[in-house]
Structure 1
């Protein structure tokens, strides 16, 4: 079942009109109509709203092969945190200044926050130590990572899941098997193309 069909069925199930859902999502009624007609797709922030509102995981919304009766109960870590089957636990460090907006933070379990003083811009970084059980997290975070010269160029976030290391830029998800030097070298070469200096490639594993 497509995302468009799921949005339509969930809206009907919860007795929302298109106008009501549009108000909740802070979009126009025409936008909801386009989602349901499979003409347009909701962005990451709106997917977070739909996931929380309808009490289904983002996996269930996005994957055609998953039916709505496979939805999991929602519990709270952040305001919109979703409890899913623990198919993968992501763990890493995120610099808050490297992302657009704050919606993605609701899908993290924040374990610790530190303020780091830097020599660059901005002068201080808000460093978040996190875990996430959202299986689509690498793709979701890739939609909100900043890629703007005026804001520091190509930012990235690194994290791991079991024996896989992820390096994520805007719309680019790189990964390698921890301990596989050939795979890691290929990822490092891609990072160099993105303008990342070698001294920033000493990721913890």
Structure 2
């Protein structure tokens, strides 16, 4: 089972999440004023989602088109023993514990403006 979290504010306007085949299981709001970048909102709407493992590639590609290209945003989820980190137009997938894979995703995240303190997706 795929499990992940999307930040609603990270999505491009008019994103339609129904097309990617996952279910939103919880919606919550979180004060992130201590970790948000200067150009990001201080409260985020978080969408926890689930999907079947077989949908991982489709969801990754759909999210790569849905995540806004500016603002240092990304989405991430787990599928089996893998972590998938999605930036606008770019998907990274690596095994849990793969330090090189994680480092590559972190490095890319820095190049697109993700603040260091937000490169904290789970292992």
Structure 1 length-normalised TM: 0.50
**Which structure shows the higher strand fraction?**
2
Structure 2 residue 73 is matched with structure 1 residue 159: no
Structure 2 residue 49 is matched with structure 1 residue 130: yes
Residue 105 of structure 1 deviates from its aligned partner by 4.5
Measured in 2, the distance between the counterparts of 1:199 and 1:105 equals 31
1:36-185 mapped onto 2 (5 Å cutoff): 89-100=1-12, 101-105=14-18, 107-119=21-33, 120=36, 121-133=40-52, 134-135=55-56, 136-148=58-70, 153-185=71-103
**SS of 2:121 mapped into structure 1:** coil
User: Is contact 1:154–1:170 with CA below 8 Å preserved after alignment?
Assistant: no
Measured in 1, the distance between the counterparts of 2:116 and 2:9 equals 21
Instruction: Flag the structure with more relative contact order, 1 or 2, with Cα contacts below 8 A and sequence separation at least 6.
Output: 2
Give the unaligned 5+ runs of structure 1: 1-88
Measured in 2, the distance between the counterparts of 1:186 and 1:102 equals 27
C-alpha RMSD of the superposition: 1.8
Give the unaligned 5+ runs of structure 2: none
Deviation per residue, 1:136-182 (Å, 9 max, x gap): 1100111111113xxxx131001111111111111111121111112
**SS of 2:110 mapped into structure 1:** helix
Structure 2 length-normalised TM: 0.80
User: Is contact 2:32–2:44 with CA below 8 Å preserved after alignment?
Assistant: yes
Deviation per residue, 1:4-50 (Å, 9 max, x gap): xxxxxxxxxxxxxxxxxxxxxxxxxxxxxxxxxxxxxxxxxxxxxxx
Measured in 1, the distance between the counterparts of 2:72 and 2:116 equals 14
Q: Looking at CA atoms only, which structure, 1 or 2, has the larger radius of gyration?
A: 1
Residue 197 of structure 1 deviates from its aligned partner by 2.6
Residue 122 of structure 1 deviates from its aligned partner by 2.3
Measured in 2, the distance between the counterparts of 1:147 and 1:163 equals 28
